[in-house]
Structure 1
């Protein structure tokens, strides 16, 4: 009969007479709230609703329906794109569930369901599906909800488990009869387990979504290919076009009828169970040669569901015809399936491919959905997020897009967050990823840090002196340099040197009676912080007495030697780090937060800004809109495809110290196995002619600073074709976001380089070399003798045999010329100065590096030892062999003893310099050491003059 013959009713209502329930395959907030959905339920007999990622993508990514809830959530919470989508979707699903509740009650729980899908990313993850299905079920908390679980091989155990748990399940992505049979088995087994446990089976609803039109699409394409190729069975093949999907569905229905007659089902039915109905999905017609209502009209039968997209629903309302077609021509359907076999159409392979494609399609739709949500989220947050702008040459830009797309297709950011070591080398990486969670952790324990901050303020310390190296010192230094002194708190000083002059300078800056000392050492056994502690504890003891420990706080990993010493010496507090966080990734842990608290940084605001950075880089945020993945891909692609491995950091004045922290993170993480990124910090910006083709510039810009001159200089670089990433901070506190973003970016770039970004083998080698030398000193009261290969006045030159042979000359200028003549395009020059890092020496090394840069058109690094040993030193020794190094040592004008040790600070510094140089030589680096005897100022001036002449 024609469906329109039902008096006063929509043609769709006639489906009910045949026992079929029409469900709508569509969800949109405006559609729900403007009465359109209610009208379909009332006038068209729609008795259920299904959703999927593609539907939500269109709904949430377009228009303004969701804007009010976006604003409300973001005004009160800091959430990821994934969490934000879920909140929006749950609101929609609840609203639809309430609209359908009268249907649910009227049909005694047979109909009136709305479906919400588990994350498509979990289609191959049994345990993840089980967890998420339970979580979504609890979050929506409506009895007429169905959780959609894909009928993949991995999904089957999850279906059984959740049915046993009493969760309503919509099994999706079914294409083959064999997989459908396995789904029925999982459903029955789940009910049987529930029944055996004495739990009610009444009201546990399920449907099995059997996809239709996509099967014809694949089979028809195979038929057309073979017919075009002149297959001998061309006519028989053509006779099957548009018939296989319906025949396949009818065979599934015949299996369902058999199950309904089985003793297993009878037992469950007698206990109050309701059947798992077949639901026809993908019923929109794809081939224009077929009727637009084909997959509705030909699949009508008792106790089934058809989930219909809006366009098909409109078409059926207009001209659809209802008959119990599902039970018609069953023998003909069997013949169609037999013909499929006879004609060697590999239907199992086709349906397996459809499942794989369906999984990928839903993942891609979910990527699009989350990308849309992330973009809207960023737009609503506005200036609460730092901004990123890429200015890349066309080929570079295209390669970055390709890299991002590969990460998207492979789901690599989700693997990274899942601690999957295969992202990198498949070795120990998973052991070093607790930094991913540390901001949430510190916010959970914020009261402990705030209590400490209040106590520090109450005690009125005038100074805070942090003693540490590398990851323990560089992050706190950024905080001190960026935020300055806070009202009511002492000035934060950071000492990260064994140079006796520098130690003495810092001693002169403080009054021990008014100072809080923070001793920061992850392992608790690092040489430098231990000897600094010995020295300043002795200083404090002389000024304060036996209660000196009350002025000391330790930050160290649990169970370390430093913790034991802190307890022995009566330290005020010991704060623990996290063993699964490496030092350079520790700035947002207690290694950064304890100094932040002690110096008066507003902790909650700072950590909340950091959390915005975490959520922006979340696993749910697709690579193209994920700031961490974006930056890391630019780094990785630039280095591996274009040789742009000199990451040159330009920064406006108030945030310029960030580069020193980023140097360590990038260099120590990536510089190994002959690969790596070489960070170049604090090299004064110049015109395009001063740069080669190995640079990638990062312009770190604080918007509130007046930086017109810098802005213009950067624009000139962009115009000249240099690649530039501009990171715009709207306020200083957003540096917290950048800490996390750069950690993600560094991990991502490590994946492109195929290295482990969490170890530092060559730093350890340098430590071992230093330890041998200090041990030798303790035995003999002298470091092993060394002989310069050349002496020119107050300058003595040292090198291993290979380097000495390469730089021989009649005098200092000739030696230096021979050394710098080894610099070629694509190299960089490292000036490694083991002298006090004061204003004069910083100015000296900066002027010298620029002279070298301008003469050789190469990148330059200006570093002070031993500070850089825990930073860029790893890349210099283990990274690409493109560095040409000049190590600068000098006689100490004054030395300081290390309490309890035979060696002094000067001896330690000398041992570190020699150990550093020895490892550079072992690694075959182009390295020369020059030692200044006598007056340092005069020696530096002469050295500078000679180098300029040599250049």
Structure 2
């Protein structure tokens, strides 16, 4: 804008300032921080008679997205708070609005509240939501706190009731996006009703102002475009059509003004005016000329009239100052205006249809502009945060990138990200998903109560515990295990151990690893009814009682949902503390709730810093973050599109050695959330990367890299995969504490992927089936003293082979080599092999299973999953049974060289483990999976060595 151009001093003429002589107020459709700060805006007030300012997302996007005007405030805000792009934008915008309001306030005072306003728009995303619009208007009104503020509310059928409601509460409103006479009539009626409601309540109505923003040039853009097309096509009414070019929008505005004048004469309005009511003036919006064949000041010159406002874009503002002409044009040739509208209808130009379309397009356009605005703010934010945010980069084949981008565009257009945060189940299947979405809010909630966790940590430290032993399964154990493995023992605090097995050897190993007299036991179970935590609690409670002599409960803490069986047990047994979970968070989404935080606090982790790190990820994936800047949404779109469009449903997780255990947690999150209804993502964790040639075309690689401790071998292997065209998503963590961000990032991504897969990502039906089968077997043992008999279909040396009839028939009656050769011969391209070992998980067995799985991968060129039972039952077991039928499973069981009794039960830990293995296998068989169980008789180490040899020969 040319602020240096001055009116002719000799003549004293300024057509902008002289608009007031015709009862019209010029407002400026523009706002910018530097423009307000350097006196340019005040100069317009003083010299041009500027009476108001309007803003919109497109204006703010240009102001905030470019240059350095806002950098200092952004830097200052981000140093103090963790904000979403929407929250950051709002703080910046409110600063601008308040500054502008101060410049305009003298006009407000001079005009007794008729002019001097600056407008701030409610989120365009709310255009079709009445309650949300009203709530947002109230919130913004209070946040700005300036009497010369106008809140902009769209004149949609849903926006108009919100406008009426907040008007009755004393809020001044600029109703925007009005195109049709009918819509304008409804808005004026809503204004009058709002005033009447307030007046009837005995409240002051004299301090309320409103304008109805009636859009002009966009109408001609549509109508004239239709005219030009028909003329070009040789329409028989070509001459009549050409005569209407550039006239319909102005005629429409003049007719609307006539309605205004009629209403102002009514007794109903006179009663309100007598009580001090201000009229709702028509504001001409979209008054920049788009068609270069028309005058650049057409929509200012032709719409000058009393009690109106023209909000003028900067270029038009300058142009009108330079060569605009003044006359009372709004009331000229009114009869002709009605004739123009009649003529357009006769010629089929469909003004009514055009105005309806323009409302829809206008809302979409404002949403697009808001997306761009928030994206610009997000870019600025990311620049200033730098490595404080985890960073994500996707190297994708062109077809997968296009498919993922299509998902993101769908989410942008339909607002699914906002629906997700609104807990709208239609994002998924429309079932009960909304009941399981408290994980979205848990970081804020736990930060509000973090002092409780910090006090607990101090108490644990003061008591001098040497060890913390967490007893849990699945979601209750895998998150704490990541924390234990990532951070190790923290100085001054006990060492955190996580036991999630019923293998008697493993239970005994953990018992021997801790000092029972100085151990804090955390029993972690959401429902309190899960078998494994209950029997582990019984065992260690008895062991602690024996070691301590009395009151073992003082060494026990429970983490459980309110009202659970475990809560009753904890109270009965005098536990030191009970921490509660959130019923509306499933186990695998619970790591940032007390299920992860209580053991973290006990182990000395700075839970406040941990939660603040997580909050950065929450804010980055907020409802206000456009898909193009929402890394978690992008990740979910990639995973979902890869699986549904290209069969790339094996998510291979590669993590830097210092954060390697993230993969174990991710396995459960992905598999249990998505593996159902014959579809899903199959996570492949802890696999040493091979050359590109050992992989099929069914993988997506997720590389979680701790940037300061990246592994050179991994880096080289990842680079080779990218060069070979394999899809690789790299997520960089600058600090170990950033695993908290990674937790939420992947939770959100999994929810998005579930939507793309069209499943409910928050249930786990097949985990429950395994529990049911296990329960049948343990019940049978309690009744008879033994498990139901089973007979191997083949025996070979130290191996006994078991399978259902269908699988047994397919595998034949040969020796171990023949059976395993037949079994692995069933593996096809796109399949995966699951090695499911119900044995103690220690260094030797982990090395053994890794060697076996890598050999299978390299020979068969398929993905391989290496799992230990029963822990995987609460993790990947869901996908193996409910996911795609592409798994070939080898279950491994063995004789226990020693067993442990379960206090108060007839069965032992060995019996429970055997029942779990058999229950698991029964469900795999019932689902028609290609499954084989081999049982090792005699010494485990020798049996495993021989089995590895035979498998090597078989493939």
With structure 1 as the length reference, what TM-score do the two structures score? Answer: 0.99
What is the match of residue 105 of structure 1? 109
- For 2:844 and 2:266, the matched residues in 1 are separated by 91
Give the deviation of 1:4 after TM superposition. Answer: 6.7
1:197 maps to which of 197, 201, 208: 201
Q: Secondary structure at the match of 2:551?
A: helix
2:328 maps to which of 324, 329, 339: 324
- For 1:402 and 1:837, the matched residues in 2 are separated by 43
Spell out, residue by residue over 1:490-544, the C-alpha distance to the aligned partner (whole angstroms, 9 max, x if none). 1000000000000000000111110000000000000000000000000001111
- For 1:502 and 1:640, the matched residues in 2 are separated by 40
Relative to structure 1, is the Cα distance of residues 706 and 240 closer, same or farther in structure 2, using a 3 angstrom cutoff? closer
What is the match of residue 49 of structure 2? 45
Give the deviation of 1:706 after TM superposition. Answer: 4.4
- For 2:243 and 2:659, the matched residues in 1 are separated by 72
Please state if 1:579 is matched with 2:569.
no
Spell out, residue by residue over 1:652-695, the C-alpha distance to the aligned partner (whole angstroms, 9 max, x if none). 11000000000000000000000000000001011111111111
- For 2:347 and 2:734, the matched residues in 1 are separated by 67
2:844 maps to which of 809, 823, 840: 840
What is the match of residue 190 of structure 2? 186
Relative to structure 1, is the Cα distance of residues 672 and 6 closer, same or farther in structure 2, using a 3 angstrom cutoff? farther
Q: Secondary structure at the match of 1:142?
A: coil
- For 1:746 and 1:78, the matched residues in 2 are separated by 23
Please state if 1:641 is matched with 2:641.
no
- For 2:727 and 2:917, the matched residues in 1 are separated by 36
What is the match of residue 215 of structure 2? 211
Please state if 1:87 is matched with 2:91.
yes
- For 1:702 and 1:839, the matched residues in 2 are separated by 24
Correspondences of 1:187-266 after superposition (within 5 Å): 187-266=191-270
Please state if 1:281 is matched with 2:282.
no
What is the match of residue 658 of structure 1? 662
Relative to structure 1, is the Cα distance of residues 285 and 812 closer, same or farther in structure 2, using a 3 angstrom cutoff? same
1:409 maps to which of 394, 413, 424: 413
What is the match of residue 611 of structure 1? 615
Correspondences of 1:438-837 after superposition (within 5 Å): 438-837=442-841
What is the match of residue 171 of structure 1? 175
Correspondences of 1:114-125 after superposition (within 5 Å): 114-125=118-129
Moved more, 461-470 or 506-515: 506-515
What is the match of residue 881 of structure 1? 885
Relative to structure 1, is the Cα distance of residues 635 and 917 closer, same or farther in structure 2, using a 3 angstrom cutoff? same
Give the deviation of 1:145 after TM superposition. Answer: 0.2
What is the match of residue 368 of structure 1? 372
What is the match of residue 140 of structure 1? 144
1:158 maps to which of 158, 162, 187: 162
Please state if 1:400 is matched with 2:414.
no
Give the deviation of 1:318 after TM superposition. Answer: 1.1
Does the aligned pair in 1 maintain the 2:29–2:311 contact within 8 Å? yes
Does the aligned pair in 2 maintain the 1:26–1:309 contact within 8 Å? yes
Does the aligned pair in 2 maintain the 1:6–1:14 contact within 8 Å? no
Give the deviation of 1:5 after TM superposition. Answer: 9.7
What is the match of residue 26 of structure 1? 30
Query: RMSD over aligned Cα, in angstroms?
Result: 1.0
Q: Secondary structure at the match of 2:49?
A: coil
Spell out, residue by residue over 1:621-664, the C-alpha distance to the aligned partner (whole angstroms, 9 max, x if none). 01111011011111111111111111001111100000000000
Moved more, 345-354 or 133-142: 345-354
- For 1:841 and 1:661, the matched residues in 2 are separated by 20
Give the deviation of 1:342 after TM superposition. Answer: 1.5
- For 2:9 and 2:156, the matched residues in 1 are separated by 42
Q: Secondary structure at the match of 1:546?
A: coil
- For 2:475 and 2:200, the matched residues in 1 are separated by 57
Does the aligned pair in 1 maintain the 2:793–2:813 contact within 8 Å? no
- For 2:679 and 2:720, the matched residues in 1 are separated by 30
Please state if 1:15 is matched with 2:11.
no
- For 1:567 and 1:158, the matched residues in 2 are separated by 50
What is the match of residue 939 of structure 1? 943
Q: Secondary structure at the match of 2:206?
A: coil
- For 1:4 and 1:928, the matched residues in 2 are separated by 95
Does the aligned pair in 2 maintain the 1:9–1:43 contact within 8 Å? no
- For 1:885 and 1:50, the matched residues in 2 are separated by 66
Spell out, residue by residue over 1:288-311, the C-alpha distance to the aligned partner (whole angstroms, 9 max, x if none). 111100000000000100000001
Give the deviation of 1:398 after TM superposition. Answer: 2.0
Q: Secondary structure at the match of 2:94?
A: helix
Give the deviation of 1:9 after TM superposition. Answer: 4.3
With structure 2 as the length reference, what TM-score do the two structures score? Answer: 0.99
Does the aligned pair in 1 maintain the 2:834–2:866 contact within 8 Å? yes
- For 1:912 and 1:520, the matched residues in 2 are separated by 20
1:128 maps to which of 125, 129, 132: 132
Q: Secondary structure at the match of 1:466?
A: strand
Please state if 1:897 is matched with 2:901.
yes
Q: Secondary structure at the match of 1:37?
A: helix
- For 2:178 and 2:677, the matched residues in 1 are separated by 47
- For 2:10 and 2:325, the matched residues in 1 are separated by 11
- For 2:404 and 2:628, the matched residues in 1 are separated by 9
Give the deviation of 1:754 after TM superposition. Answer: 0.1
What is the match of residue 909 of structure 1? 913
What is the match of residue 4 of structure 2? none
Does the aligned pair in 1 maintain the 2:649–2:699 contact within 8 Å? yes
Spell out, residue by residue over 1:885-924, the C-alpha distance to the aligned partner (whole angstroms, 9 max, x if none). 0000001000000000000000000000000000000111
Q: Secondary structure at the match of 2:417?
A: helix
Q: How many residues align?
A: 950
- For 1:148 and 1:405, the matched residues in 2 are separated by 27
- For 2:385 and 2:14, the matched residues in 1 are separated by 46
Relative to structure 1, is the Cα distance of residues 6 and 897 closer, same or farther in structure 2, using a 3 angstrom cutoff? farther
Spell out, residue by residue over 1:54-90, the C-alpha distance to the aligned partner (whole angstroms, 9 max, x if none). 1111111111110011000000000100000000000
Spell out, residue by residue over 1:468-493, the C-alpha distance to the aligned partner (whole angstroms, 9 max, x if none). 00000000000000011111111000
What is the match of residue 291 of structure 1? 295
- For 2:8 and 2:109, the matched residues in 1 are separated by 27
Does the aligned pair in 2 maintain the 1:5–1:11 contact within 8 Å? no
Give the deviation of 1:30 after TM superposition. Answer: 1.1
Q: Which runs of 5+ in 2 are unaligned?
A: 1-6
Q: Secondary structure at the match of 2:283?
A: strand
Does the aligned pair in 2 maintain the 1:750–1:757 contact within 8 Å? yes
Spell out, residue by residue over 1:702-723, the C-alpha distance to the aligned partner (whole angstroms, 9 max, x if none). 0111422221211111001111
Give the deviation of 1:232 after TM superposition. Answer: 1.9
- For 1:713 and 1:581, the matched residues in 2 are separated by 37
Please state if 1:926 is matched with 2:937.
no
Does the aligned pair in 2 maintain the 1:809–1:818 contact within 8 Å? no
